[in-house]
């Protein structure tokens, strides 16, 4: 019977419900958070601008608003573990998306190592950090403009790489298309891609893989 | 020192070298296979047309040419296991890409369950097979035209979904763009995407995840 | 003679004139409404922002401004009937367009059943409502992002489906192109498509079909 | 229970199964036709090239191969009726798609009036035929190049118009994109659109509407 | 010698210099007008917003600011003549561009007949005005959305048609691309096209042709 | 009455009917030519490949097949006149389109001056021929690749320029899009544009203008 | 060892670090400038809007803010030399990008000759300045709209041309795509292209070439 | 006088005339070579397919046909020099374009170092060859698929990099667009870009720069 499909996927998977902030008012999000608190110790809303963010944390003062990534969240302390997801990006401009990914993973209960400022234009920086990336079980690699970083990282590590193109850049970047196409056409194996600026989606995938690998 | 980066990624990872057949002659592939045999019990070449395929298996008669998927391969028997990757697709037209994925995974030593003919236009077929998909550790979901299948599967399973858009269709499918965009914009979580028609790439990712999950 | 073509299509069809609000001032719309009232008991203007909307209903206080859908309208009570159009959508973000469609149909004198919050990522919700959709004579299915909902609905019902792509989403949705292409390439039969965000157009078509089917 | 969704949509709707010929061999189609004959008096396969077509009708000699539209079909005599679908197009180049639509509708048991050679560049021809179009219950309007015909017809009739863009043209027609965009952006109301060259899809929709209107 | 090319094209042609307002300040345009007045009785600046327009006519009070078309101009009285350019468009939304064309032609000394509100969705309006269009020596046909008007007009007149696509519309009009492609792919002969929203350019061409035809 | 629109535009204008060869068989064209000969001394068919061309002139041996331009035509001797259309292009690759334009104009009874091999990369060649172009009443300027020639010519002449983009080039020319966009965005005034590779359309417009200017 | 790659490329090349202003606050740039001053006599920040620019030069009053190009910089006096880079552009609208290029080159210590107002629509202006361009060792040619200027200049000089497309224009310029494609498809040899509006990048390349040529 | 512009650019620059083979017959190229031999010791024709190539070298037996790059050429021995251009690419598939570049540079009299098989997916190979690249005065970096190689090389060298995107790849590479956009958006400085597959153009630029640097 249809009972086969009627269980909420979110419940089965143990992932908390995450609020997509775009197109919702602060009040709506405040109410949703109130109701989510009945079942969940952690909370996350993404794509929240400054005005909404401030209003939400005024009411939910156990939550943090991170302006750069546009997230409001409540984490719980992570268990001590040697296993982690590496979140890798080039520089200041991609930090918003990288932090959306990192915070999402942490809210979902997974340790994150941030490896920032390692763009391909200065390869020595990436090579200086490569062991920290290699030791991860999954990497999220965030890049705008030419989006070359996932290809280079993918060739240096033996674990799955979630590639996140960003809309950072101007002119012929076409709002992230240049980075997106680079990542889809990567000559490195072991790379899969999510939507432009979708740090959340990359983290969701990475956490699934990480949890599957066990502790 | 630089020794840190000089080991072949392929060697470290235990993945056999795979030959990308496009732009190589039958003779070139025959020679490459000869040299690969020195180190590897399994063999795989992708994007091989009928003429090349026949020539290769004439010389390498321990290999099989699968015309539909355009692959030439030599597998070894899989270990007995309850764990598998589900390769899911809608119908006859996406089989070429689905089989490229399935054969790649098998050559890489992972069990595959094929769940074919389950397009979203006749949902009962998918729902009738959903438990077989749910029991997998990773799914590869292949779809052309509107590319909706990964979104629907992604909402019904709790494991990572590798989505493969295909160029199948006509008119406003623009050689696979319609399916690609659908998958990148999926409202289901846990989906990541590879290049149009890249069954190989999806399998590579899926095998990495599957192996990480252990036996 | 040319008399063959000189009758106003709107008059012949019995459809009231609808005002397209974009690029018209509040004052212009107020004046047009005044003149339309001479011939019509119902009124509708679409694509009206908040400022214009408030000004119009201040003067025409028998009209309602619905901010979410950007419409100003005056309906008359519907006749009691078992026949209806189903307006189906996934969630909060597509409500603006879904409501433009629903209100248009109601202003045109047709009963509407709203089936909202039934996105493909949680299929059980759609399946739980499917009988209410099946009982309609026409469905309008509104979806943004990957635009998969019309394909799934189309496979479950035996009546015509008008598909409306929305511009909801970000990144590689390209302002609604992803949903538009999905709908045009649907592998379900019985689906036709209108412009991105064109709830009005879908309702116009649906009402034509519904009225043709008779009471 | 799930029984709700497990009945074949084709069976419920009374529409015969139609074979999509692309990517299937003549032999496969011959076999499918053999099996379809067990349940159906009519038969239809679309997107069939000359070589395949000839092979199929050699075996199934009760079928007709229409080269221009790329269809193989077996109709049964239509009931006498004043109701019909108008299939409208401009000229020789769009005939392939127009005939795919017309034949599909006839195989599905609906009378068709063909109104060909009425392109907008010579308006008098369209105006000379307009009463024949107006008397239809639904129109299918097929156009390539600038795709203006559905807008003009839509303004002259009071019934639903299914618009079919074709890939006919060259240069900046981009394989049918010019006609597709014209139809999606039509300023006439009552027009909905199917994929480029999808005469079958338009007919499927039109027949649904026509049947709903009753006899 | 090079003297062959050193004469100013504008001077030779007798066309006054026209100021392209975008990216110029009000002050800059005021100064340019001052200098142009030394040689020219007429003046024209295009793409002028309200703020700039008001400032310019405050200083140059023999000039008129037309807000709808974004032009500031000074015409001189036209000679009495039976010859004219027809400027044709569908409705309120395309008026800005149509007026840019009409005013440009008048500033250049050519009589204009405005034939507005004749969109293809209500063909009787166009047919009711067709003799006024036919009597012109050149037509400028302005259309947004599906851009079908030039094709229809082109089929009804025997003189050159300058087609101007506009960015009017939403969704899949892609800022005027739909109308542009329609016009480039017109099945009517005698149509040539200028840039999206370029009423000025169409008028420049039309005036050249008109003047060549003599009085 | 409708009589207003029922006269054939071709007849009124005095332009002979031209056959668009694409999608017509040699036999069909042979028959059409036979029927056209009843009313017309001149004949023209465009977009004819070698095989069709040879077959047609075998039957119609008063016609010429020009392989480069893909035209079959029969001209009559031109009257002696100082007035002409200049057909201008850069080099060997654009000759096909330039000749389609030139032959069309000649079949329509207008004298043509061919100014070939004057690409912008070697400006002295263009400047050496500029007086011959200036003396024309209209120019047709054909260019592929970057499509700069019409902008340069347009700045040097005082008559209307019909710009024809060609699909000549490779890579980022995108089948003529690069040249098309160049021409639409020309900073020279007096330029209007026809479809990619549409030499016929440019000639049709140019002849209209030329004839209007009188002898 | 890896030491091979660990030297900063910027240091080796003697090029000062340039600050990319987009996405950085005025305060951040003020701090970066403070730290850069420890090692460098010259300073440059690009893509700075008016508000940020004013704040920066208030603190760093040895710097100049150039509003048109959006740069803040500190140059040192250039050595006396006959060698220079020509920066060439058409008119007022491209000046922002041209000046970004010119100022960057000067900050990097290279003499610049500005050759402005030489668009292809008035070729005599370009030809009047051509010797000044020819005498340069490298040219940077900046153009929006149809982007034809680099092709024309490239054909007249014997040194490398760096082509910079700008986003100047409207309609079918698609934010600079028209100029970009023109430059990539140039039929002149010796032209290479940088991103839309990237005056900085062109200058960086030009300075590299100029310095290589020696004094 | 105009004498200023009438000297052939090719003659002034000392670059031999190069034949663009596309659209020319073998016979035409044979004749052109015959005439070029009167003035030039070296010869080059590009974009020559196998059939044409064989015919040309049958007549001009002092020429070599290189099938992979599609070139026919006659070089003269290079002078002994430590200076060279590096031509860098990833692998077998990009060799055609890389060789077009390398052969062009050699025909123009410049020494070339080929650094092939150094794709970013296996970074150790590139790093193992980096000193050979660094020692060049200019690099030509050829890459298809994601086109990341120029960004990585650009960050490791201090000389100008000419980036050549290739059409190698499938699916979302869109015939080279992915690589092209990557290169235009490179975060490394000192990179400029030529058309997709334009090895010739990159070499032309590189040789200009190399010759300028002197011996
Ligand atoms: N169908 C495919 N699509 C994308 N990449 C592939 C495919 N088949 C093989 N590859 C990759 O291509 C590499 C071999 O390329 P090559 O050395 O050119 O044969 C393999 O190691 C794979 O990573
Ligand atoms: N939201 C809408 N989208 C598309 N067309 C519309 C919309 N609202 C109204 N219309 C059409 O626009 C026509 C009126 O346009 P106007 O005369 O400009 O107000 C109506 O008759 C409708 O056919
Ligand atoms: N709306 C317009 N669109 C395109 N070109 C225009 C427009 N208005 C003026 N122009 C052209 O721009 C030139 C003046 O440009 P500028 O010197 O920048 O003011 C005029 O000579 C016209 O050719
Ligand atoms: N306008 C510009 N466009 C592209 N790249 C730039 C521009 N201005 C500076 N850059 C580059 O950006 C680098 C500094 O980036 P950041 O560290 O983010 O300030 C510089 O070293 C330059 O290579
Ligand atoms: Mg990897
Ligand atoms: Mg999932
Ligand atoms: Mg259906
Ligand atoms: Mg209608
Ligand atoms: Mg006409
Ligand atoms: Mg001109
Ligand atoms: Mg040059
Ligand atoms: Mg560099």
Q: What is the pLDDT along chain F (215 residues), one digit of tens a residue?
A: 333 343 454 555 678 889 999 989 999 999 999 999 998 999 999 999 999 999 999 999 999 999 999 999 999 999 899 999 999 998 778 999 999 999 999 999 999 999 999 999 989 999 999 999 999 999 999 999 999 999 999 999 999 999 999 999 999 999 999 999 999 999 999 999 999 999 999 999 999 999 988 86
Say yes or no for a CB contact (<8 Å) between D170 and F7: no
Whose Cα sits closest to atom 18 in ligand 3? E20
Q: Both tokens of residue D69?
A: 């539209």
Q: Tell me the residue ranges of DSSP E strands in chain B.
A: 19-20, 43-46, 64-66, 71-74, 85-89, 112-115, 138-143, 161-165, 191-193
Q: Is the CB of E16 under 6 A from ligand 3?
A: no
Coil, helix or strand at residue B142:
strand
Whether B3 and chain G come into contact, CB under 8 Å, resolves to yes
Q: Spell out the SS3 assignment of H72-112.
A: EEECCCCCCCCCCEEEEECCHHHHHHHHHHHHHHHHCCCCE
DSSP string, C96-133: HHHHHHHHHHHHTT--EEEE-S--GGGHHHHHHHHHHH
The per-residue b/e assignment along E105-115, b for 16 or more CB within 10 angstroms, e otherwise, is bbbbbbbbbbb
**pLDDT score recorded for residue H7:** 41
Return the bridge partners of F109, or none.
none
Classify the C-alpha dihedral A143-A147-A152-A157 as positive or negative.
positive
H-run or E-run covering D9: helix D9-13
Q: What is the ipTM of this complex?
A: 0.94
The per-residue b/e assignment along A78-101, b for 16 or more CB within 10 angstroms, e otherwise, is eeeeebbbbbbbbbbbbbbbbbbb
H-run or E-run covering C44: strand C43-46
Question: How confident is the model over G67-116, as pLDDT tens digits?
Answer: 999 999 999 999 899 999 999 998 778 999 999 999 999 999 999 999 99
Dist. CA G9 → ligand 5 center (Å): 27
Question: How confident is the model over G21-58, as pLDDT tens digits?
Answer: 998 999 999 999 999 999 899 999 999 999 999 999 99
**pLDDT score recorded for residue A12:** 57
Taking the CB of residue D92, how many other CB atoms lie within 10 A of it? 16
Q: How many CA atoms lie within 13 A of B109 on its CB side?
A: 12
Which residue reads 């009760």 in tokens? D62
Coil, helix or strand at residue C164:
strand
**pLDDT score recorded for residue H10:** 52
Dist. CA D156 → ligand 8 center (Å): 7
- CB within 8 Å of C84: residues ≥ 6 apart: C110, C111, C112, C113, C135, C136, C137
Mean pLDDT of chain D: 92
Furthest-apart CA pair in chain H: how many Å? 59
Cα H55 to Cα B19, B46, H48, H58, H67, distances in angstroms: 34, 35, 11, 5, 13
Listed residue (B39, B51, B27, B106) closest to B73, CA to CA: B106
Question: How confident is the model over G104-153, as pLDDT tens digits?
Answer: 999 999 999 999 999 999 899 999 999 999 999 999 999 999 999 999 99
Does D10 have pLDDT greater than 60? no
DSSP string, B95-118: HHHHHHHHHHHHHTT--EEEE-S-
**pLDDT score recorded for residue G33:** 96
**Residue G138: exposure state from Cβ atoms within 10 A (0-12, 13-18, ≥19):** buried
Among the partner residues C5, C197, C198, nearest to E124 by beta-carbon distance: C5
Question: How confident is the model over A8-60, as pLDDT tens digits?
Answer: 545 556 788 899 999 899 999 999 999 999 989 999 999 999 999 999 999 99
**pLDDT score recorded for residue B91:** 78
Q: How far apart are CA A65 and CA A58, in angstroms?
A: 10
How would you classify the pairing of strands E19-20 and E43-46? parallel
Question: How confident is the model over E41-76, as pLDDT tens digits?
Answer: 999 999 999 999 999 999 999 999 999 999 999 999
Furthest-apart CA pair in chain C: how many Å? 58
**Residue A121: exposure state from Cβ atoms within 10 A (0-12, 13-18, ≥19):** buried
User: Dihedral of the CA atoms G94, G96, G99, G101 (nearest 10)?
Assistant: -80
- At residue D121's C-alpha, the angle toward residues D116 and D124, to 5°, is 70
Q: Is the CB of E18 under 6 A from ligand 3?
A: yes
Which residue reads 């959709």 in tokens? C133
Could you tell me if residue D117 is left (phi over 0), alpha (psi between -120 and 50 degrees) or otherwise beta? left
Does D100 have pLDDT greater than 70? yes
Say yes or no for a CB contact (<8 Å) between F23 and D124: no
Neighboring chain H residues of E4 at a CB cutoff of 8 Å: 2
Which chains form contacts with chain E, at 3 or more CB pairs under 8 Å? Answer: C, D, F, G, H
H-run or E-run covering E19: strand E19-20
- Return averaged pLDDT per consecutive 10 residues of chain H, 215 residues in all: 41 80 93 93 96 98 97 94 96 91 97 96 93 97 96 96 96 97 95 98 97 83
Phi, psi of F209 (to 5 degrees): -65, -45
Decide: C157 and C163 in contact? Cβ < 8 Å: no
Residue ranges in chain C modelled with pLDDT below 70: 1-13, 215
Q: How far apart are CA A98 and CA A166, in angstroms?
A: 9
Decide: C186 and C85 in contact? Cβ < 8 Å: no
**pLDDT score recorded for residue D93:** 82
Say yes or no for a CB contact (<8 Å) between D172 and F176: yes
How would you classify the pairing of strands B43-46 and B71-74? antiparallel
Å from C14 to nearest chain D CA?
9
Among the partner residues G123, G155, G182, nearest to F178 by beta-carbon distance: G182
Testing ligand 4's pocket by substitution, the residue of A89, A90, A91 carrying the most ligand atoms inside 8 A of its CB is A91
Say yes or no for a CB contact (<8 Å) between H23 and F123: no
Whether D4 and chain B come into contact, CB under 8 Å, resolves to no
H-run or E-run covering E192: strand E191-193
Among the partner residues A151, A174, A183, nearest to H120 by beta-carbon distance: A151
Whose Cα sits closest to atom 20 in ligand 1? B18
Question: How confident is the model over D123-153, as pLDDT tens digits?
Answer: 999 999 999 999 999 999 999 999 999 999 9
Coil, helix or strand at residue H162:
strand
Among the partner residues D131, D160, D214, nearest to C205 by beta-carbon distance: D160
Q: Is the CB of G20 under 6 A from ligand 4?
A: yes
Which residue reads 């690029």 in tokens? C23
Say yes or no for a CB contact (<8 Å) between H208 and G190: yes
Q: Both tokens of residue G165?
A: 């497309």
Decide: B88 and B139 in contact? Cβ < 8 Å: yes
H-run or E-run covering H64: strand H64-66
Q: Long-range CB contacts (< 8 A, 24+ apart) of A128-134?
A: A128/G6, A130/A156, A130/A157, A130/B4, A130/B5, A131/B4, A132/A86, A133/A86, A133/A88, A133/A157, A134/A158
Mean pLDDT of chain H: 92
Q: How far apart are CA A37 and CA A30, in angstroms?
A: 11
Phi, psi of G161 (to 5 degrees): -115, 120
Cα C98 to Cα C67, C69, D186, D188, distances in angstroms: 13, 8, 20, 21
Does A6 have pLDDT greater than 70? no
Decide: B108 and B207 in contact? Cβ < 8 Å: yes
Q: Is the CB of E47 under 6 A from ligand 3?
A: yes
Q: Where are the alpha helices (DSSP H) in F78-198?
A: 95-107, 123-134, 149-156, 177-184
Q: How far apart are CA C89 and CA C152, in angstroms?
A: 12
Decide: F164 and F97 in contact? Cβ < 8 Å: yes
Q: Is the CB of G119 under 6 A from ligand 3?
A: no
Question: How confident is the model over B15-27, as pLDDT tens digits?
Answer: 889 999 998 999 9
Cα–chain-centroid distance for residue G4?
31
Q: Is the CB of E22 under 6 A from ligand 3?
A: no
Å from C183 to nearest chain D CA?
9
User: pTM of whole model > 0.90?
Assistant: yes
Say yes or no for a CB contact (<8 Å) between F185 and G90: no
**pLDDT score recorded for residue G3:** 34
Q: How far apart are CA B16 and CA B7, in angstroms?
A: 15
Return the axis-axis angle of helices G95-107 and G199-212, rounded to nearest 10°.
40
**pLDDT score recorded for residue E89:** 96
Q: How far apart are CA E82 and CA E215, in angstroms?
A: 9
Testing ligand 2's pocket by substitution, the residue of C108, C200, C205 carrying the most ligand atoms inside 8 A of its CB is C200
F-chain residue closest to G190, CA distance: F121
Listed residue (E83, E86, E42, E50) closest to E68, CA to CA: E50
Decide: E72 and E64 in contact? Cβ < 8 Å: yes
Question: What average pLDDT score do residues E128-138 get?
Answer: 97
The per-residue b/e assignment along F19-55, b for 16 or more CB within 10 angstroms, e otherwise, is bbbeebebeebbebbeebeeebebbbbbbbeeebbeb
Question: What average pLDDT score do residues B178-197 get?
Answer: 97
Testing ligand 2's pocket by substitution, the residue of C9, C20, C25, C40 carrying the most ligand atoms inside 8 A of its CB is C20
Q: How far apart are CA D160 and CA D202, in angstroms?
A: 11
Question: What average pLDDT score do residues A53-80 get?
Answer: 96
F-chain residue closest to H4, CA distance: F124
**pLDDT score recorded for residue C10:** 52
Taking the CB of residue G199, how many other CB atoms lie within 10 A of it? 31
Does A5 have pLDDT greater than 90? no
Decide: F138 and F159 in contact? Cβ < 8 Å: yes
Decide: D83 and D213 in contact? Cβ < 8 Å: yes
Q: How far apart are CA H32 and CA E166, in angstroms?
A: 48
Q: Is the CB of B46 under 6 A from ligand 1?
A: yes
Coil, helix or strand at residue D73:
strand
């Amino acid at each position: 019977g249809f009972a086969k499909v009627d269980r909420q996927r979110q419940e089965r998977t143990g992932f908390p419900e995450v609020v997509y902030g775009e197109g919702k008012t602060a009040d709506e999000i405040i109410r949703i958070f109130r109701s989510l608190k009945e079942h969940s110790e952690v909370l996350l809303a993404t794509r929240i601008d400054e005005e909404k963010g401030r209003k939400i944390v005024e009411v939910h003062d156990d939550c943090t608003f991170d302006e750069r990534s546009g997230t409001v969240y409540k984490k719980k302390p992570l268990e001590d573990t040697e296993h982690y997801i590496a979140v890798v990006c080039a520089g200041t401009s991609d930090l918003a998306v990288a932090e959306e990914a990192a915070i999402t993973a942490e809210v979902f209960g997974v340790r994150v190592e941030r490896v920032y400022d390692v763009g391909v234009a200065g390869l020595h920086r990436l090579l200086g950090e490569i062991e920290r990336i290699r030791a991860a079980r999954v990497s999220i690699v965030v890049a705008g403009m030419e989006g070359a970083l996932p290809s280079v990282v993918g060739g240096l590590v033996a674990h799955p790489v979630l590639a996140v193109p960003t809309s950072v850049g101007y002119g012929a970047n076409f709002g992230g298309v240049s980075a997106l196409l680079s990542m889809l056409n990567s000559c490195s194996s072991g790379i899969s891609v999510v939507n432009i600026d979708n740090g959340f989606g990359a983290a969701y995938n990475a956490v699934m893989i990480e949890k599957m690998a066990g502790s």
